[in-house]
Amino acid sequence: MSVAEGPGSPAEAEFEPSVRDGLYTLGIEMMGVKQGRATGVVVLRGGIIMGGDSFFYYTGSYSFSRGKWRGEMIVHQHTDAPGLNLVFGGREVTCGFTGSYAEGTADIDGTALVGPYSIPFRAQLALKVPG
């Protein structure tokens, strides 16, 4: 092995797995003072997040290194929900997250800032359509 091919070299970095671009399903569980669940879809492409569910759409960004990723999203309500008490209802919500990613699946731990509350959440993503 030459010096250029040693650990940490550019040749090794080329083979580091990364977050795959594509369409993912998303399952979220909110915990703490306000609790709730949501399912939706999200597209990850080159560090950009776009997605949504029945009542909200999400936009944001992420970065990835060594099997771990982190990012931030802003959640906006797009549809009224008469009779439902939505945790994020009527608010623009900022979320930050960290987690692990491997072979088309991801686990996330994050925090959503909803009015005066910091709501912890967990999410799982599964790649459905590579992009």
Q: Is the pLDDT of residue 1 over 80?
A: no
pLDDT 10s digits, 33-49: 888 899 999 999 999 99
Q: Is the pLDDT of residue 6 over 50?
A: no
CATH code for the part of the protein at 20-130: 2.40.128.380
Cβ-Cβ contacts under 8 Å for 48 (sequence gap 6 or more): 60, 61
Q: Is the pLDDT of residue 3 over 90?
A: no
pLDDT 10s digits, 91-131: 899 999 999 999 899 999 999 998 888 999 999 999 999 99
pTM of this prediction exceeds 0.75: yes
pLDDT 10s digits, 69-93: 999 999 999 999 888 888 888 889 9
Nearest to 88 by CA among 61, 62, 53: 53
Instruction: Say how many CA atoms lie within 13 Å of 31 toward its Cβ.
Output: 8
